[in-house]
Amino acid sequence: MGNDEKKSISRSLGEFFGHILKGVKEPVEDRKLVLRADRTEEVRETESGKVIVRRTVVEEMEVVRDVKEEGRENEKGKP
């Protein structure tokens, strides 16, 4: 379609549901996603000298697919 032509409502709805269907069909991989990583550092004076105290907090989300569960889901969908 050219830039001057407007898309019909049917065309727009088809594209919309096509994008949703593509997202549903795309396989999910096992992966880790770091949501947040905070690091604080503090220097303290002690009798034996300087001490550096560090605190690191990492929040992760891990997606793990179970092969057994996936097989069962496929069997349920079969007629």
Instruction: Report whether pLDDT(20) > 70.
Output: yes
Predicted local confidence at residue 63, as pLDDT: 78
- Using DSSP's 3-state secondary structure scheme, residue 18 falls into helix
Instruction: Report whether pLDDT(77) > 70.
Output: no
Neighbour tally for 33: CB within 10 Å: 9
Instruction: Report whether pLDDT(79) > 50.
Output: no
pTM of the model: 0.35
| The amino acid at 36 | R
- CA of 49: how far to CAs of 2, 44, 46, 54, in Å? 73, 8, 5, 16
Cα torsion through 43, 46, 49, 53, rounded to 10 = -30
